[in-house]
Structure 1
Amino acid sequence: MGKVKIKKKSTLIDMTAMSDVTVLLLTFFMLTSTFLQKEPVTVMTPSSVSEIKVPFTNCTTVLISPEGKVFLSVSGDADSTFSSEKVRAELIQTAVAEYNKTHSKQVQLTQEQVSKFSKLNMFGVRIADLPAFLDLPQAKQDEVIANLSDPAVGIPVDDNKDLTKPNEFQIWMRAIYNSSNPNLEAAIKKGEGIAIKADKDTPYNTVHDVLDNLQTLKMNKFSLLTALKTEND
């Protein structure tokens, strides 16, 4: 009796469905991921064993460069009601209005300049120089910020205690605290709304002035950003 021939099955696999799933997964991860934002300077934070994570939303990051320059980054809610752009647009208008109360040379902003500021992840120029800075294209703005020897770069900070004549760092921080976003104020009160990121070579005097200013403003709870210590550290 002859052998029964087994009918060969086709090895062709329809990959259409798998391609659709791959595209859907890729789209999902792109929409839900939080991308690292560009910072004006590279800061090497000191090491620690703390594993507490700083939130990405409703948080103010104070970046202090090795040269002692201070920059700020402000984020709002993940939803559209108090989004980061809306919070920043309100912030710059509040800060400029406060600045104009104590300075004879008034700063005026156009709606286009306010809109440009709202899209900045991190900022750090004197308030008087903001209009000219915001009129520059993005590439030129990056060049200005990268020039850390320029006295106009960095938010001015000193050991001022007189809040009737606040320095610019105090103006910005008070404007952040008084934001119409209640979650931002609540985060600051809980100690989760302010994160300080300083380089291991940052001058102590600048770090001291920043911490002293926060205490003067009654913002006594904040986080210090560090790198997780490894077995070799």
Structure 2
Amino acid sequence: MARLKPKRHGVVTDMTAMCDVAFLLLTFFILTTQFKKPDVEQIKPPSSISEKLLPDASLMTVNATPEGKFYFQPVENATERGKLLDKMSQKYNISFDNNQKAAFQRVQAIGVPMNQLKSFLDLPGDAQKNYKGSGVPMDSTNTQLTDWIQQSLSVNPKYKLAIKGDVNTKFPNVKSLFEGLRDIDFLNFWLITSQEKSE
């Protein structure tokens, strides 16, 4: 006797719920994405084959230009930035008013010596972004850059440091930075590179 096959029914999937979830995820990613802030000066990092990613949180960055100027980017946390400015103002005996403290919490990068920081913070936001200062001093006699790093670590010892140098930056220009980091016994940091293209 022939075996009866069960009748096949088409499966109907309601796509409404899937569309709702897709749009919720899309909305979530759009609203929570933070765009990378552009550098004060264009820096093209050297390439490497490393695939290790930088941590997102608690990262301070030092940018080194081909001319040997340094820009310091403190971490994004506004309250910890305020504490950092207080510590640096105590160290250098410089006082800042409330407007300057608020401007420091929004500043992208510091590229001026401490004696010019007040006038830099008094600039409007767009002028600060386009201002190309002389860089944070870092040599054998004036170690303001390592002071920024050391005071940041005193605010939060869990901070990490990344150094982004231009591909054309000569080693003697950043040697003083490495020596300064050695002097404050801060030996673990990342060097930012661009991903080498596979051929």
> TM-score band, normalised by the shorter chain?
0.7 to 0.9
The equivalent of 1:114 in structure 2 is 101
Contact 2:137 2:145 survives alignment (8 Å): yes
Displacement after TM superposition at 1:49 (Å): 1.0
Counterparts in 2 of 1:1-233, with a 5 A limit?
24-76=24-76, 84-100=77-93, 107-145=94-132, 152-160=133-141, 167-179=143-155, 181=156, 185-187=157-159, 193-232=160-199
Contact 1:44 1:200 survives alignment (8 Å): yes
Which blocks of at least 5 consecutive residues in structure 1 are unaligned? 1-14, 77-83, 101-106, 146-151, 161-165, 188-192
CA distance in 2, matches of 1:22, 1:132: 48
The equivalent of 1:11 in structure 2 is none
Displacement after TM superposition at 1:128 (Å): 0.9
Deviations 1:123-169 (CA, angstroms, capped at 9, x unpaired): 21111111111111112223322xxxxxx521000034xxxxx6211
Displacement after TM superposition at 1:32 (Å): 2.9
Contact 2:143 2:180 survives alignment (8 Å): no
What amino acid sits opposite 1:194 in the alignment? Answer: L
Displacement after TM superposition at 1:47 (Å): 1.1
Deviations 1:152-187 (CA, angstroms, capped at 9, x unpaired): 521000034xxxxx62112211111100x3xxx134
Contact 1:99 1:171 survives alignment (8 Å): no
Displacement after TM superposition at 1:93 (Å): 1.5
CA distance in 1, matches of 2:108, 2:88: 17
Which aligned runs of 4 or more in structure 1 are off by greater than 3 angstroms?
20-26
Contact 2:146 2:177 survives alignment (8 Å): no
Contact 1:144 1:153 survives alignment (8 Å): no
Give TM-score, length-normalised by structure 2: 0.84
Q: Secondary structure at the match of 1:71?
A: strand
How many corresponding residue pairs?
A: 186
CA distance in 2, matches of 1:46, 1:91: 31
CA distance in 1, matches of 2:21, 2:197: 38
What amino acid sits opposite 2:135 in the alignment? Answer: G
Deviations 1:71-93 (CA, angstroms, capped at 9, x unpaired): 111225xxxxxxx1111111111
CA distance in 2, matches of 1:129, 1:22: 50
What amino acid sits opposite 2:116 in the alignment? Answer: D
Aligned-pair identity (%): 29
Contact 1:61 1:195 survives alignment (8 Å): yes
